[in-house]
A and B are shown apart, each in its own frame.
Chain A
């Protein structure tokens, strides 16, 4: 019998003479270039090492049997190898680049991103709201980006020769049916939503994803904040209204609410207006966002209510006394979305949006009551097969109920009503071949029950990284859109309008400087035409219209060259013609200026604790039709110029004094001309210039944020 001591000694010897294996190899990238500093180790053990300057590594392990070797390195995909440890010799491991890492190619043709989570973000969320001239309007800031046309009397987004209704707006992936506040001709509108609820935005001026339909030109995608940073109360006192907001946070959920009351009456009593306001613009709006985080997902509820009313007499060349327009509008918008992971690399995004819009309008003696109920449901699944291949698949349903009652002594009561429902399915694949080449291919199918059509539209985009700082991308897509409701209420046998986009994009980004150039061609087909001045009951409607838009958009942003100064410049060249509506022949529409230029600067003056912003907008003359001329739409207005200025002064970290003036130089701008329906005794058609309600607009405000930590302020709301 061996003594216990011997056994003990033997055991010790055994422990210390564990068979040792040397694991050796080299790490390179896919092209064979050595990777220095990769982390190589046996999973679950302390045995490992880093690769040297030749990519070589070597370490000793006393483990035995089948082991898992892990190789990880920043910006590369983690590699793992399961093998008998004694076979782990002279390993040649090639790491694949992580296509999700920085410096990867981005599919960005057509798109401007804003927000800090995007690799190609050209604007930060703060930029959107500190832009002079935007006056806190979310939409205003996007009008300084290339691809948009300045149509100051309208206020909506006109993209690449497209009419304003060719742009669709989405919040958290769900459609916003009435994104702009109610207004009438030549009184510019504003976005209904307060900017501080959003964290990121994608503004696509063409070639967008198969997920979005019913828009010929553009989509604007707004995302609400997932989790507010802190609890706070915001108070705004402005010369045209008052607002209050509050955010509360709990463990898993949070609630933000805000309300704003706007009344232009006191302002218009001081500053003279060109329009004859009987009851100036007044509106009351409220919004609430509730967020709840589940273990694997996030639920968001958004509700917006808005009430607007005004009454004015608008000049009209055909009516010496002017036209009386009275409007009351009530809009309710609800949006519920859920995003979450389902495990196994599947994720879900689903939600519904609902809008009820009621307008009571009076045009002189004609009374119009409109009521629209709209509903959108979307269900989307995403499967991540690998970092390099992702697939989206989804379906959506739109329900639209429109009803109108028009009353006038001349025609009695006229009622129209239609249900416009669409069902769509889409799928899209994202493919990264490597860090340099990526493509996205998708297809969308839609069936509309009102017009009884089914359309399939392909979308494809491709991007190639030409150097570490630059890339090129291409995109193509077909887009369909239903005729507008003022056409649909008279005719329900038409086809949808169609456009096709061809886009070439070049992007260069280095050291907080961005240069972006995008050339495009867009064809229009099946545009709605009618033979009366506007769409009417008796109009003859056809789908025989068509057109094109082609141009070049340039964007330059520099945050680096001059200390404390940020600026961006946009230039858009646009060549477009279309034959639509009541055009006798192909012509350039009034909203499409050939040259648009914006220059935005923001300068932080430390000693004055002030952020001074200026925005200069230029648009070349806009076409208009002079019936005294033989050729249709061959005249041009003078060019448009506007210099906007704003100054935010920080009284303290939480109190801001704000002043802004639009068109500071008071340049007399003309948007269009209205001609008389009948010639005067000399045989000439008389005209009236369409000009803004006032040359300048002043805002003076005081913004106060009350929060526990005293650093937040409303600078990002201005």
Chain B
């Protein structure tokens, strides 16, 4: 009897601990996404960073911390803010990469980060970073040929290039269609695994209207 009780106690405690750990990660992540939605990106970044530091082996919080930094640069024109945010985002992605190697999602995020540099100062970065962005998308696609974000954002990137060189961006519209298909088929592997981007399809499709 005594052993059974001890065992029961032991099991219960470990279960409670597991639930606690699990739920604080989930609670933390959900809370961080809420903060991001509530237009307090820096609070969200801080929380993602705290989770990353506590979890130690999970690349996702670093990935999202980088994403918030990158997307926040779209709303400012202050060169110093943009450069320091993108620098920090790259640091987060580097951390993410050490935790998860050959990860298509991280490569896509890195491509977006470099695109942010190009967008804010094309005369300095367009020529130097274009090759890198292209390479990142290709690597991501080689790892995950059906990744909708790789398909969509690579198409958008190529549309930008086509427009710059006075060509028709519509050539890449079939790739956007493919991305839509991939979005529909996408299944979530683990909680909080990246699945964003579907709502950007419409924006990219603006290029397909004549």
Is B134 part of the contact surface with A, judged by Cβ < 8 Å?
Answer: yes
* Complex interface: stretch among A348-356, A357-365, A499-507, A704-712: A704-712
> When each residue 118-133 of chain B gets 1 if its CB lies under 8 Å from chain A and 0 otherwise, what string results?
0001011101101110
Is B195 part of the contact surface with A, judged by Cβ < 8 Å?
Answer: no
Query: Which residues of B sit under 8 angstroms from A116, Cβ to Cβ?
Result: 124-125, 128
State the interface size on chain A (CB cutoff 8 A).
Answer: 46
A102 contacts B161, CB within 8 Å? no
Q: What would 16 more interface pairs be, CB under 8 Å, given A43-B53, A102-B80, A559-B124? A: A8-B9, A39-B46, A39-B49, A44-B56, A75-B84, A103-B80, A116-B124, A116-B125, A124-B128, A229-B131, A229-B135, A511-B79, A609-B166, A653-B161, A711-B131, A711-B134
> When each residue 85-101 of chain B gets 1 if its CB lies under 8 Å from chain A and 0 otherwise, what string results?
10110000000000000
Which residues, 34 to 75 on A, are CB-close (under 8 Å) to B? 37-39, 41, 43-46, 48, 50, 70, 72, 74-75
A230 contacts B53, CB within 8 Å? no
Query: Which residues of A sit under 8 angstroms from B51, Cβ to Cβ?
Result: 46
Is A101 part of the contact surface with B, judged by Cβ < 8 Å?
Answer: yes
In the complex, A41→B127 CA distance in Å?
A: 41
From B8, B24, B83, B131, A46 is in contact (CB under 8 Å) with: B24
A609 contacts B46, CB within 8 Å? no
From B13, B43, B132, B165, A11 is in contact (CB under 8 Å) with: B13
Query: Which residues of A sit under 8 angstroms from B123, Cβ to Cβ?
Result: 124, 512, 559, 566
Is A4 part of the contact surface with B, judged by Cβ < 8 Å?
Answer: yes
A124 contacts B165, CB within 8 Å? no
Q: How many whole Å from B132's CB to the nearest CB in chain A?
A: 5
Chain B residues within CB distance 8 Å of chain A? 5, 8-9, 12-13, 16, 24-25, 28, 42-43, 45-47, 49-51, 53-54, 56, 79-80, 83-85, 87-88, 121, 123-125, 127-128, 130-132, 134-135, 138, 161, 164-166
From A45, A50, A709, B46 is in contact (CB under 8 Å) with: A50
B5 contacts A102, CB within 8 Å? no
25 A-B contacts, Cβ less than 8 Å apart? A8-B12, A11-B12, A12-B16, A37-B42, A39-B45, A41-B50, A41-B53, A44-B54, A44-B56, A46-B50, A48-B50, A50-B42, A50-B43, A75-B84, A102-B80, A116-B124, A125-B128, A511-B79, A512-B121, A559-B123, A606-B166, A650-B165, A653-B161, A709-B134, A711-B131
Q: How many whole Å from B56's CB to the nearest CB in chain A?
A: 8
From A126, A511, A609, B165 is in contact (CB under 8 Å) with: A609
Is A716 part of the contact surface with B, judged by Cβ < 8 Å?
Answer: yes
B5 contacts A4, CB within 8 Å? yes
In the complex, A8→B6 CA distance in Å?
A: 10
Query: Which residues of B sit under 8 angstroms from A270, Cβ to Cβ?
Result: none
Query: Which residues of A sit under 8 angstroms from B131, Cβ to Cβ?
Result: 229-230, 707, 709, 711-712
Query: Which residues of A sit under 8 angstroms from B138, Cβ to Cβ?
Result: 708-709
> When each residue 4-19 of chain A gets 1 if its CB lies under 8 Å from chain B and 0 otherwise, what string results?
1001100110010000
A512 contacts B28, CB within 8 Å? no
Query: Which residues of A sit under 8 angstroms from B80, Cβ to Cβ?
Result: 102-103
Q: A230-B135, A512-B79 are in contact. Are A716 and B43 (CB under 8 A)?
A: no
Is A715 part of the contact surface with B, judged by Cβ < 8 Å?
Answer: yes
Main secondary structure of the interface of B (DSSP, over half): helix
> When each residue 688-718 of chain A gets 1 if its CB lies under 8 Å from chain B and 0 otherwise, what string results?
0000000000000000000111011001100
Query: Which residues of B sit under 8 angstroms from A650, Cβ to Cβ?
Result: 165
Query: Which residues of B sit under 8 angstroms from A4, Cβ to Cβ?
Result: 5, 8-9
In the complex, A38→B50 CA distance in Å?
A: 12
A15 contacts B46, CB within 8 Å? no
Q: How many whole Å from A115's CB to the nearest CB in chain B?
A: 9
B165 contacts A229, CB within 8 Å? no
Query: Which residues of B sit under 8 angstroms from A711, Cβ to Cβ?
Result: 130-131, 134, 161
Q: How many whole Å from A195's CB to the nearest CB in chain B?
A: 13
In the complex, A389→B165 CA distance in Å?
A: 47
Is A607 part of the contact surface with B, judged by Cβ < 8 Å?
Answer: yes
B16 contacts A15, CB within 8 Å? yes
Q: Which residue of A lies closest to B127 (CB)?
A: A126
Q: How many whole Å from A34's CB to the nearest CB in chain B?
A: 15
Query: Which residues of B sit under 8 angstroms from A7, Cβ to Cβ?
Result: 5, 9
A102 contacts B83, CB within 8 Å? yes
Q: How many whole Å from A596's CB to the nearest CB in chain B?
A: 26
Q: Which residue of B lies closest to A117 (CB)?
A: B128
Q: How many whole Å from A122's CB to the nearest CB in chain B?
A: 11
> When each residue 98-111 of chain A gets 1 if its CB lies under 8 Å from chain B and 0 otherwise, what string results?
00011100000000
Q: Which residue of A lies closest to B124 (CB)?
A: A124
Q: Top 7 nearest A-B pairs by Cβ distance?
A: A229-B131, A39-B46, A4-B5, A709-B134, A37-B42, A41-B50, A48-B50
Is A652 part of the contact surface with B, judged by Cβ < 8 Å?
Answer: yes
B128 contacts A74, CB within 8 Å? no
Which residues, 94 to 140 on A, are CB-close (under 8 Å) to B? 101-103, 116, 124-126
In the complex, A74→B46 CA distance in Å?
A: 10
From A44, A102, A652, A707, B53 is in contact (CB under 8 Å) with: A44
In the complex, A102→B82 CA distance in Å?
A: 10
B84 contacts A74, CB within 8 Å? yes
Q: Which residue of B lies closest to A49 (CB)?
A: B46
Q: How many whole Å from B75's CB to the nearest CB in chain A?
A: 16
A709 contacts B135, CB within 8 Å? yes
In the complex, A490→B156 CA distance in Å?
A: 68
Q: Which residue of B lies closest to A39 (CB)?
A: B46
Query: Which residues of A sit under 8 angstroms from B49, Cβ to Cβ?
Result: 39, 72
Query: Which residues of A sit under 8 angstroms from B8, Cβ to Cβ?
Result: 4, 8
Query: Which residues of A sit under 8 angstroms from B53, Cβ to Cβ?
Result: 41, 43-44, 70
In the complex, A229→B128 CA distance in Å?
A: 9
Q: How many whole Å from B88's CB to the nearest CB in chain A?
A: 6
Q: How many whole Å from B166's CB to the nearest CB in chain A?
A: 5
In the complex, A37→B41 CA distance in Å?
A: 10
B9 contacts A11, CB within 8 Å? yes
Q: Which residue of B lies closest to A650 (CB)?
A: B165
In the complex, A103→B130 CA distance in Å?
A: 26
Q: Which residue of A lies closest to B42 (CB)?
A: A37
A46 contacts B54, CB within 8 Å? yes
Q: Which residue of A lies closest to B28 (CB)?
A: A46
In the complex, A41→B28 CA distance in Å?
A: 13
B54 contacts A45, CB within 8 Å? yes
Q: How many whole Å from A400's CB to the nearest CB in chain B?
A: 37
Q: Which residue of B lies closest to A124 (CB)?
A: B124
Q: Which residue of B lies closest to A12 (CB)?
A: B16
Q: How many whole Å from B34's CB to the nearest CB in chain A?
A: 14
Query: Which residues of B sit under 8 angstroms from A512, Cβ to Cβ?
Result: 79, 121, 123
Query: Which residues of B sit under 8 angstroms from A559, Cβ to Cβ?
Result: 123-124
Q: Which residue of A lies closest to B83 (CB)?
A: A102
Q: How many whole Å from A28's CB to the nearest CB in chain B?
A: 17
Query: Which residues of A sit under 8 angstroms from B84, Cβ to Cβ?
Result: 74-75, 101-102
Q: Which residue of A lies closest to B161 (CB)?
A: A711
Query: Which residues of B sit under 8 angstroms from A102, Cβ to Cβ?
Result: 80, 83-84, 87
Query: Which residues of A sit under 8 angstroms from B125, Cβ to Cβ?
Result: 116
Task: Specify which of B56, B85, B128 lies most central, judged by the most chain A CB atoms within 10 Å of its CB.
Answer: B128
In the complex, A30→B59 CA distance in Å?
A: 33
In the complex, A606→B164 CA distance in Å?
A: 7
Query: Which residues of B sit under 8 angstroms from A8, Cβ to Cβ?
Result: 8-9, 12
In the complex, A117→B12 CA distance in Å?
A: 55
Q: A126-B128, A511-B79, A652-B165 are in contact. Are A74 and B88 (CB under 8 A)?
A: yes
In the complex, A559→B56 CA distance in Å?
A: 44
Q: How many whole Å from A14's CB to the nearest CB in chain B?
A: 10
Q: Which residue of B lies closest to A43 (CB)?
A: B53
Query: Which residues of A sit under 8 angstroms from B9, Cβ to Cβ?
Result: 4, 7-8, 11
Query: Which residues of A sit under 8 angstroms from B165, Cβ to Cβ?
Result: 609, 650, 652-653
Q: A4-B9, A102-B87 are in contact. Are A715 and B127 (CB under 8 A)?
A: yes
Q: A37-B46, A74-B88, A512-B79 are in contact. Are A229 and B12 (CB under 8 A)?
A: no
Query: Which residues of B sit under 8 angstroms from A75, Cβ to Cβ?
Result: 84
Query: Which residues of A sit under 8 angstroms from B132, Cβ to Cβ?
Result: 229
Q: How many whole Å from B18's CB to the nearest CB in chain A?
A: 13
In the complex, A185→B47 CA distance in Å?
A: 68
